A and B are shown apart, each in its own frame.
Chain A
Amino acid sequence: MDFAFSEEQLAFREQVLRFAAREIAPRSAGHDLNSEFDHQAFRRLGEFGILGLHFPEEFGGSGADVVTTVLAGEALGEAGVDGGLLLSYGAHSFLCADTILVHGSDEQRRRYLPGLASGELIGCMGLTEPGAGSDVAALRTRAERRGDRYLLNGSKIFITNGPVADVAVVYATVDAAAKHAGISAFIVERGCKGFSAGPPLHKMGVRSSQTSELFFDDCEVPAENLLGGEGNGFLMALQTVEWDRSALIAPFVGSLSYALKKCARYARQRQQFGRAIAEFQAVRDKLATLKIFIEAARGLVYRVAWCKDQGRPLNHLEAAVAKLFVGDWSLEPANAAMTLLGGYGYCHEYELERIFRDGRLASIGGGTSEIQKLIISKLM
């Protein structure tokens, strides 16, 4: 066993930390407050090479392994980047772009990946529907083949990047009676006839990421935009959730490291009853709660990444364990961090209430904690 990162990985992590702390994180508070997507920061992530980090070079990426990719995501969180931008990056790079990378034809990859890697194109993934959340197989959006195109009808909800996306990977069924086996994925471009996005939803957290409904009203999608073949969508969606449960949660673990540092600094400086609050046992206890959670979570998140790097197929159990742990066991440390700063912790300026709000999504998005428990109890 060896839990060390390589020299190169650590050096890259440092670069990401510095870059993000200097250029991205200072923009987070304003965008979160105004619930605005930060186009400029997103493009900078692309220019820096984050968005397509794990894509092959020929598609505008760096060919990084999964562990490095997850490490970069964690570093973004640790630099203080808000959960909204991090979610937008995750939905873009993993839920949308990676699906094209893994299942797309050469033509599809050439057409979309370079733009997705640079940030010139923004991607989203539409799976959830008003009547099909946890029960993905119940999705109703239909895709009917009509000559050289498919006609899509239906709607999606809670779609990250929906209002700003140029490219959407959309799941629809070509045969509702076949349930899972009918589900297929399509690449739908912005401006495509019959395709529209609703206004951004007002959310508790991850506010700088725009979340909306997507509508398909006899939406015409060229047949060559079918992704991975008819009926393969369900398995493809399952594959993307591995990313959901490693690369998408790593930034939140990083955010808690950011919170821990902030709390520790505050505890040293803040004086009450004639001494630094760091001297009070109850305050130190909160720091320990954060530290223990972070270290426990890291072991799980990197296990999923490492398994993916080994090419071990569909690591559902490991992925579900990581997702469940981060989703459910992060509530106490996130709350502890906010409480440690007293009244300031409750104020936007000090960022901890944002981390708390953003992190609350971890047990809901990408499969709720209950669904993770279902998966674990089936596989164990």
Chain B
Amino acid sequence: MNYDLDASDKELLDRVTALLNDENLPDPAALQRVEASTVGSLLRAWLQRLGPAGYLAAPAGPGLTSARMLLAARSPWLALAVAIGPGLLADLLARHGSPEQQQRFLEPLRRGRLVAAVALSEPRAGSHPDHLATTARRDDGQLVLSGSKSTVSLAPLADVIAVVAESDGAQALFLIDGGQAGCVCGSPLDTLGYRQLCTCPLELRGVRVAPDRVMVPDGRPRGGLLQQVRAGWDAALADVACGTMRLCLEQAREAAAVERAGGKPPAGYQSVRFALAEMLTLSQTAELLALRAAWAGAAADRQAASLALCAKVFATENACRVADLALQIMAAAGYSRDNPVARAVRDSRLGLIAGHPGQVARQAIAGEVLQEVELS
């Protein structure tokens, strides 16, 4: 047992810390106007520095999880965008991509040269996308994609979009170029939070895809690909939720220390101090659980899937709680639209919904418990 990060993980954290302190990089936390072009250039600037820092090639495990928490503590949206776009596609390519696909996409993704999006959810297949309406038919040696996706984050910014669709009775990933003929992004949705993700609907109107741009995970049970996309989102959301908790705690702690009229800072009141203590407790508990889940995944531990779901549920639910507590401490300042805590209150709600939504995750956790009892 060892609760300390390995030396190489610590080095990754040091490199990310250096980037966070680099004044030449645009501050993602200061992004006020949310237009695809502004977000896109900021995201690219960061990707191009995160790549050489080794962040985009870091294998899933405690190192990447810690680095994501660190980045998210500065900017939850940036950490999430990197994880569920380029990060997720890189992970899928590493597992299922052919050598040519890896050469063509994986290397540039890891160097931070590509913005990617993954398109899964459909209007009629949200929490249970077992049977997708988006399909690919063969035509003249190529595959032709048709269907619509409801909520695709980063789609308007993406150089490459990985579309999950039904093809020949299996689910496969189709790598299409952003802006390819027939691929139409709708206007970004007016979402409660995470507006920087520019989440939008995507119409696929006969998009032609060459066979070498298709990844079919072979030898896997049906739904395996969906599970992987979901699991990628879950891990990202858990880590980002932990970072969000750190951010909220920091903001609230600072605000609580400021002297107010009457001569007493908010931290002079026990209820404020106790709220900070609760926030720290939830934050540390969530971080340890997320780190343990990441470790279990990397170690192929028997409990990995269940721990990942536990971490996702615990971290995302409590990020909402911690953000609410921070807002209460910061009062009017925290209620201002562009305050990081006000954003965290809005953003953190996504964690309850995306990936395995809370209720679905809980059912799956219970399923594992019931199965274990049957086995023992």
Question: Residue A284 at the B interface, CB < 8 A?
Answer: yes
Interface residue from B2, B307, B372 paired with A295 (Cβ < 8 Å): B307
For A341, what are the chain B residues with a Cβ–Cβ distance below 8 Å? none
B31 is an interface residue with CB less than 8 A from chain A = no
Check B370–A376 contact: CB distance below 8 A.
no
A-B contacts, 16 listed (Cβ < 8 Å) = A1-B4, A2-B2, A3-B296, A264-B372, A268-B373, A278-B370, A284-B362, A291-B368, A292-B313, A296-B285, A297-B285, A303-B288, A325-B285, A373-B277, A376-B280, A377-B267
- Per-residue CB proximity of B161-188 to A under 8 Å, as 1/0? 0000000000000000000000000000
Contact between A288 and B253, CB atoms less than 8 A apart? no
A295-B307, A325-B281, A380-B280 are known contacts. Are A285 and B314 too (CB-CB below 8 A)? no
B310 touches A291 (CB 8 A): yes
Q: Smallest CB-CB separation from B298: which chain A residue?
A: A1
| Contacting pair A306 B1 (CB below 8 A) | yes
A interface, CB within 8 angstroms of B: 1-6, 67, 260-261, 264-265, 267-268, 278, 281, 283-285, 287-292, 295-297, 299-300, 302-303, 306-307, 321, 324-325, 370, 372-374, 376-377, 380
A268 touches B281 (CB 8 A): no
Nearest CB in chain A to that of B271: its residue: A373
Closest CB in chain A relative to B139 CB, distance in Å:
43
The yes or no answer to B289 lying at the interface (CB within 8 A) is: yes
- Residue of B whose beta carbon sits closest to that of A279: B370
A4 touching B365 in the complex, CB below 8 Å, given contacts A264-B373, A267-B370, A373-B273? no
Task: Give Cα A328 to B125, complex, Å.
Answer: 38
Residue B276, interface by CB 8 Å: yes
Number of interface residues of B (CB under 8 A): 47
> Which residues in B have their C-beta under 8 angstroms from that of A373?
273-274, 277-278
B-to-A contact residues, CB < 8 Å: 1-6, 9, 62, 253, 267, 273-274, 276-278, 280-281, 284-286, 288-289, 291-292, 295-296, 299, 301, 306-307, 310, 313-314, 359, 361-363, 365-370, 372-374, 376
Q: Report the separation of the CA atoms of residues A284 and B369 in the bound assembly, to the nearest whole angstrom.
A: 9
CB distance from A109 to the nearest CB of B (A): 28
On chain A, the residues within 8 Å of B372 by CB distance are: 264
Q: Report A375 CB to chain B, min CB distance, Å.
A: 8
**Smallest Cβ-Cβ distance to B317: which chain A residue:** A292
Q: A288-B365, A302-B1, A380-B253 are in contact. Are A321 and B310 (CB under 8 A)?
A: no
Question: Could you tell me the distance between the alpha carbons of A288 and B367 in the complex, rounded to whole angstroms?
Answer: 9
Contact: B363 with A281, CB < 8 Å? yes
Contact A285 B3 (CB under 8 A): no
Q: Known pairs A268-B373, A291-B310; list 12 more (Cβ under 8 Å).
A: A3-B1, A3-B291, A261-B373, A268-B374, A285-B362, A295-B292, A296-B286, A302-B1, A303-B288, A325-B285, A373-B278, A374-B273
Given contacts A1-B295, A372-B277, A376-B281, whether A307 and B3 have CB atoms under 8 Å apart is yes
Instruction: Kindly list chain A residues whose C-beta atoms are within 8 Å of the C-beta of B291.
Output: 1, 3, 299
The verdict on A5 contacting B1 (CB below 8 Å), with A288-B365, A300-B284 known, is: yes
Q: Is B366 in contact with A288, judged by CB distance below 8 angstroms? A: yes
